[in-house]
Structure 1
Amino acid sequence: MFAVHFFENKNLLLSQLLKRVPSVGEDLKIKGRKAKVSSVNSVDEKIFHVQVILESINKSKLVVVDNSKKKKR
């Protein structure tokens, strides 16, 4: 088992105990967001720091709520 810490820039996103350390270029899903592994650093023989790049969220594609069907008061 390996202690794997996932970072975006210098922000800690997630710490997990994993049986397998992710490799560079692997696609992941962290906290419901798509991520890609950019680098893997070994701190100790059981501790790894993984740098990830999260996919940006386009706020323009969010669903607009239709209020025309609500009862007017």
Structure 2
Amino acid sequence: MNAVHFYENKTVVLTQSLNSVPAVDQDIKIKGRKGKVVSVVQIDENKYHVQVIFEKVVVKKPLLTAKELAKSKKR
């Protein structure tokens, strides 16, 4: 078993005990976020640091209903 520490920039995202270490350019999903492995560094015999880049999350604004639009137009 290997201790794998996943990092985004310098922030620890997740630490897991895994049988196999992820490879570079492998697509992964951590905490519901899609990402790609950038680098893998072996620290000790069974400790690895994995750098991950996550996809940007796009926040969509809900559309205004006719009532809300009419309310905002009044002055």
Instruction: State TM-score, norm by structure 2.
Output: 0.81
> Helix, strand or coil for the counterpart of 1:41?
strand
Structure 2 match to 1:36: 36
Give the CA deviation at 1:35.
0.7
Which consecutive aligned stretches of 4+ in structure 1 deviate over 6 angstroms post-superposition? 65-68
- Per-residue CA shift, 1:4-61, capped at 9, x if unaligned? 00000000000000000000000000000001000000000100000000000011x3
Instruction: From the CA coordinates, give the structure whose radius of gyration is larger.
Output: 2
- Give the counterpart letter for 2:11 in structure 1: N
Between Structure 1 and Structure 2, which shows a larger proportion of helix residues? 2
Matches for 1:21-32 after TM superposition, within 5 Å: 21-32=21-32
Q: What is the alpha-carbon distance in structure 1 between the residues aligned to residue 54 and residue 24 of structure 2?
A: 14
Unaligned runs of 5+ in 2: 67-75
- Give the counterpart letter for 1:38 in structure 2: V
Paired-residue identity, %: 52
Unaligned runs of 5+ in 1: 69-73
- Aligned-residue RMSD, C-alpha: 1.5
